[in-house]
A = this chain, B = another copy of it.
Amino acid sequence: MRGLGEFRLLRRLRAKSPPLPPAVLAGMGDDAAVLQPSPGFALVATVDVLVEGKDFHWEWCPAEAVGHKGLTVSLSDVGAMGAIPRYALVALGLPARTPVKRVDALYRGIWEAAEASGVAVVGGDLSEAPCLILSVTLIGEGETDHLIRRSGAKVGETIWVTGPLGRAAAGLCALKAGYRPERSAVKGRRATHIPPKARKAIRETIRAQLYPVARYREGRILAEAGIATAMIDLSDGLASDLTRLAEESRVGARIFADRIPVDPSTRQVAELVGLDPLRLALGGGEDFELLFTSGAASAAIEDALARKGFARPHAVGEICPTDERLTLVGPRGRQEPLGSGFEHFR
């Protein structure tokens, strides 16, 4: 970075940036981006930050994945409102010693995720910082009466998730334990060869951790069909995010352990690293599946997504009165309080 300087870097990025849609009346190169909102739509806006050493580690996270994830986290938030993602602003803080290649790769990750989701990167800011910090603001649009809040869950409704949980957490545990997608042995432990079958599971869970997929398309379908009454994305883990939804809706909830979808890769990796897959599914974050509540018939809910080519969601529990709080029901009916997952500064 040193030697190139802020303005030349900005010019470079501007030249490489994908073309902008007509609704962007002015993009980079002015004091602010100018955007033409769709008539009759409300805006949704969200910001999320990734910090080097906290949210990702260069040791195992390519810069492209950081960019991809930076956008995905916000896409997931917009998706959880049932809105259409539209515009992104990217604020990047980075050390002066950062190689330009790394900045290029990071933006490649952002732009790829943006193009795939129809998002235009319309502006940003570059600063010097002690470590890499990526802050992505995402602006989306949706019809006011279709947007889904966290606060709409009602007693008696079913709790659904759009896909398997604990996968990204399993991938993170695998990375921390020294597993790498491309390696056939754990680094540092001679002769700890990994059986080929486990390798696939490791690759899959690590991919879920590094390149998560935001379910904004599913969120939009659920919102347009009027199916979801409340919705949140699973960024901090089922236990933690359900707690927030329940608080906003002023309800309690009951989750059935044996209904939580955990895929075979997650189970396999959990076994390798010696962790309980259920704990990964409940406490692990960054799956970016959607959790939603609905009073509609199961078949109607499953069909709405399946008809458009998306995976069938999983019913994992039910909304209860507040005084029942949040409960996990074990396979033999044993009940315990649902924990509350990951939190910063703890």
**Measuring CB to CB, which residues of chain A are less than 8 angstroms from any residue of chain B?**
1-2, 4-7, 9, 25-26, 29-37, 39, 41-51, 53-55, 76-78, 80-81, 83, 87, 89-91, 93, 96, 122-131, 133, 135, 137-140, 144, 147, 149-151, 231-233, 244, 248, 343-346
Contact = CB atoms under 8 A, between A and B. Distances in A.
A137 B33 CA distance: 11
A45 B35 contact: yes
Residue among A47, A50, A232, A248 with the highest chain B CB neighbour number at 10 A: A47
A45 B47 CA distance: 13
A4 B345 contact: yes
B43 A126 contact: no
Contact of A31 (B29, B31, B55, B80): B80
A135 B25 CA distance: 24
Contacts of A47: 89-91, 123-125, 135, 137
A41 B48 CA distance: 26
Given A47-B89, A133-B93, A128 B30 contact: no
A287 to B, nearest CB: 15
Contact of A25 (B42, B53, B77, B345): B42
A6 B43 CA distance: 26
A2 B232 contact: no
Contacts of A133: 93, 129, 133
A148 to B, nearest CB: 9
